[in-house]
Structure 1
Amino acid sequence: MGRFKDSVLTLCFLFLLVLIAARLQSEGSNPVTGPFRVVDGDTLAAGAERLRLVGIDAPELDQTCERDGQVWDCGQEAKAALQRMMARGAVECRGGDRDRYGRLLVNCLAEGRTIEGEMVRSGMAVATGLITYRSEQIEAETDRRGIWAGSFTMPAQWRRERKLEQEGNGFLSGMQDLLSLEWL
């Protein structure tokens, strides 16, 4: 009988912890109202507020990919895919935290499905976490949807390469100015 009481008390305590965690999570997550404007494949705007979809990374607007030996504007297509998803019906976004650029980090739902999961499933974004949206990404890879239909550079790697190019161009330009001896 003592073990039964201990088990019941333990279960009640765990249930209480779950309720507290759910309450804290809902307090930190505020609804964001639209209308929403699509900025790129993983960023929205609601009025002056910028919103970053959590758990995904889409090609940048000027990023290109290759499919069937042809270069295509995968960044522009990712934006168009997100626009189509946002236009399907009532979209509810919730967030609380901000990223290093000040954008509100949000999760969005439409028709009972996450917009983030749909972007990954369509092959127009990659999952950034170890677990979240991985099954959707495997499905997109297997079916060769979107960016998985050919070759592409991961968006984070693409951004790093562009940053290095820009920094390199600034350095090279400075060296050319210095070596030109026109400053003498």
Structure 2
Amino acid sequence: MLRICSALVLICVCLPVWAEVSGLVRVIDADTLDVGDTRVRLHAIDAPEQDQICQTEHGFDFACGAWASAQVADQFEGAFARCTQMDTDRYGRVVAICRVNGVDIGQEIVSQGLAFAYRRYGMDYDLDEKSAYVADRGLHGFRVQSPAQFRQTRAKGRIPPDPSCRIKGNISKNGRIFHVPGQEFYERTGINTAKGERWFCSPAEARAAGWRAARR
């Protein structure tokens, strides 16, 4: 009998104890909130990144990431939420299902087409996304890359292959411009070598190759 009790105690100690989080909502982006003093990543949904661009059916660029975040903020900013923790992500954020007046925030966001069901982490909102897709609600009315694919594409061109050569030689409608770490547009600038863009090891090297310094 003693052995059985000991085993049960061991099981109880090993099981994770998830927290209940509650507080006023501050929207960081369409799938990330501050609830009180806790940063929360909503469970099983994935929204466009803040700087992600989509296209309209006529081919015009549309800042869909910022738009989706603004729509979520209009609905939930300042509301009182209660969240049930499901996990913790690699960034240390609480992954949770959050509700405002009994409404599942994640489900509501996906149903309105402001984010996608993140099936890799759960099928909770699979049918909600399919319903939004059929109705062309929100993001489903645009040409949009999945947020996961966008992050992968962005990372490929934003991380220097050689840590000692971190200067980004970008080509845009404004010409050949190089960005150094710490400048305003450095992080969001991606390098596509197929277009002739390059990484440089020093500002002098970039200037010698025909690039000019970014103004900010």
The 5 Å alignment of 1:6-85 reads: 28-69=17-58, 70-85=60-75
C-alpha spacing 1:113/1:88, structure 2 compared with 1 (3 Å)? farther
- Residue of structure 2 in register with 1:107 after alignment: 97
Alpha-carbon contact 1:28-1:96 (below 8 Å) kept: no
Q: Within 1, Cα distance between the matches of 2:36 and 2:78?
A: 20
Of stretches 40-49 and 168-177 in structure 1, the one that deviates more from structure 2 is 168-177
Match of residue 124, structure 2, among 120, 128, 132: 132
Q: Within 1, Cα distance between the matches of 2:69 and 2:77?
A: 12
Q: Within 2, Cα distance between the matches of 1:51 and 1:28?
A: 17
C-alpha spacing 1:73/1:116, structure 2 compared with 1 (3 Å)? same
Alpha-carbon contact 2:47-2:114 (below 8 Å) kept: yes
1:157 matched to 2:149? The reply is: yes
Relative to the length of structure 1, the TM-score reads 0.73
Choose between structure 1 and 2: higher helix proportion.
Answer: 1
Q: Within 2, Cα distance between the matches of 1:67 and 1:150?
A: 5
Shift of 1:90: 3.7
Deviations 1:64-100 (A, max 9, x none): 1112323221111111122133248542112153100
Of stretches 132-141 and 65-74 in structure 1, the one that deviates more from structure 2 is 65-74
RMSD (Å), alpha carbons: 2.8
Shift of 1:33: 2.1
Alpha-carbon contact 2:45-2:116 (below 8 Å) kept: yes
Shift of 1:117: 0.8
Q: Within 2, Cα distance between the matches of 1:113 and 1:33?
A: 14
- Residue of structure 2 in register with 1:143 after alignment: 135
- Residue of structure 2 in register with 1:21 after alignment: none
Deviations 1:36-74 (A, max 9, x none): 211111111135431100100000111111123232211
Choose between structure 1 and 2: higher strand proportion.
Answer: 2
* Count of aligned positions: 156
Give percent identity, aligned residues only. 31
Q: Within 1, Cα distance between the matches of 2:82 and 2:37?
A: 18
C-alpha spacing 1:56/1:37, structure 2 compared with 1 (3 Å)? same
Q: Within 2, Cα distance between the matches of 1:150 and 1:136?
A: 18
SS of aligned partner of 1:36: strand
